[in-house]
Structure 1
């Protein structure tokens, strides 16, 4: 007979937390005052809900530096019968976090995947021009988009969509680029951004507004263990092999570079970790 232990108590509690019953949705968190000339961040989200899943860094930039975080809804999903509903869910999620929201076109872009890029130059070129227009309109300080091996076809497609749009920007355009991961982990992230328990709770709450998605998979309830595991991975992938894990509980991993002179440029040698309350501004300094 197995003896009950503290480890069994932990696993039992995980199971209980993954079956919470009815979800209670709080009122939106007040959006900080954002100056008209505040730096802009664009999150190029492959699907409605990705803005919450990888939103730890943008949320801190919004709240701590008062930068203007704007989600760009690249697609609204492939199911046409759900596209308007998903937009409405996305509006509520962004309102909760204080993110701005920008559509690419009515019902979002279609067929954003590597196959379209290879076989349908007209459709792909049209989508790229839409992203060029958004980049030209906002002139963002930083952009967020999936890395090129993020497994999901639309995530990978969104990577190349943004990448091709950057290639078409005018010669003097520059911005920080922050690549994200979810379905496929990066082998070479260079940035670990911690999130407080309150921030993780807010990301979960915002994600809970994507009702149709969490009904088939409770992404919001699985977010904390994923972010906890990012601390394990980030301790060595970002901090260095054999290094101790950071002393915070939750993190999101990113690859940060700079786009300038028509190409990606390395931001720094090695990696950087920013704890809760740490200086985010130094990531964007010229030194």
Structure 2
């Protein structure tokens, strides 16, 4: 099936789902590409994380012309599947329009928060020094998967060692984070693209068809984000799908404070201004 057919199929399904949630029709932000686009690096613990947490980078690429590169920190624990997972990852990133690179030939192995290795940190420092990204995505410290927690520690230590000025966007999947400050809407078209990309990880969804559950995950972020970002007792936003992040400013590699809380609907084009206080 072609990408266009995939997107049309998912958009039809999602439109029906959004109608059940009482969401208004799909909306499109007018593109506003920036003269000098910034660069976002997604440090993905596994191939497929780029799809699950990719709402913000996808919108920055489409609406502000940003470069987005997925960094495959690992290619999974099954050594026999690593080349296949790399091929699937390249396919998925192609759907999203993301660049893709891996750390080393086979990705890193044994990435754990309690056993961070200096060589692993230095590999990430080299990437950060080369690309100087304005935005870095990594799991939050308590995301409940050993590789996710390990990647969090690697990225935080690498940002510090590189003395990088950037914004760190903490993501969630295996467990929620305590203090998200950005709720980023995905339009129906963007949600369809994220799911179509996730479908490219064929070996994983054969084992567990979690791509079918991604809309529910994004819908639940709206439920939680309505109060966690807007405030307790506030009415939730009137859109169906979104992703929660915690945006933290880093100066010379050290945390310098959270960015202001904000809801970013799809009918307002994103720009680099969202990374400022």
- TM-score, with structure 2 as normaliser: 0.86
SS in 1 for 2:3: coil
Post-superposition Cα deviations, 1:41-93, rounded to whole Å, max 9, x if no partner, equal: 00000000000000011000000000001000000001000000000000000
Unaligned runs of 5+ in 2: 8-30
Which residue of the partner structure matches residue 94 of structure 1?
Answer: 93
Work out whether 1:230 is the aligned partner of 2:229: no
| CA deviation after TM superposition for structure 1 residue 284, in Å | 2.1
How much does 1:243 deviate? 0.6
Larger radius of gyration: 1
Correspondence list, 1:6-155, <5 A: 24-26=1-3, 37-117=36-116, 124-155=117-148
The answer (yes or no) to whether the contact 1:193–1:251 under 8 Å persists in 2 is yes
Inter-CA distance 35–283: structure 2 relative to 1 (3 Å threshold):
closer
Partner of 1:250: 241
Matched, 1:196 2:187: yes
Q: 1:283 to 1:35 in 2, by over 3 A?
A: closer
Measured on the aligned residues, the alpha-carbon RMSD in Å equals 2.0
The runs of at least 4 consecutive aligned structure 1 residues that moved more than 3 Å come to 34-37
Q: Match of 1:157? A: 150
Q: Is the 8 A contact 1:25 1:208 kept in 2?
A: no
- Alpha-carbon separation, structure 2, partners of 1:276 and 1:128: 36
Pairing 1:216–2:207 present: yes
- Partner Cα separation in structure 1 for residue 178 and residue 253 of structure 2: 25
Distance apart, 1:267 and its partner CA: 3.4
Unaligned runs of 5+ in 1: 1-23, 118-123
Distance of aligned partners of 1:144 and 1:90 in 2 relative to their CA distance in 1, 3 Å threshold: same
User: Relative to structure 1, is the Cα distance of residues 36 and 272 closer, same or farther in structure 2, using a 3 angstrom cutoff?
Assistant: closer
Shift of 1:38: 2.3
Structure 1 residue 35: deviation in Å? 8.6
Listed as ranges, the matches of 1:176-191 within 5 Å are 176-191=167-182
> Is the alpha carbon distance of 1:25 and 1:211 closer, same or farther for their aligned partners in structure 2, counting shifts above 3 Å?
farther
Classify the secondary structure of the residue corresponding to 1:257.
strand
Residues 258, 266 of structure 1: 8 Å contact kept: yes
More contact order relative to length (CA 8 Å, sep ≥ 6): 2
CA contact (8 A) 1:25 1:205 kept: no
Q: Return the alpha-carbon distance in structure 1 between the equivalents of residues 69 and 212 of structure 2.
A: 24
Please tell me whether the aligned partners of residues 150 and 184 of structure 1 are also in contact (alpha carbons under 8 angstroms). Answer: yes
Query: SS where residue 162 of structure 2 aligns?
Result: coil
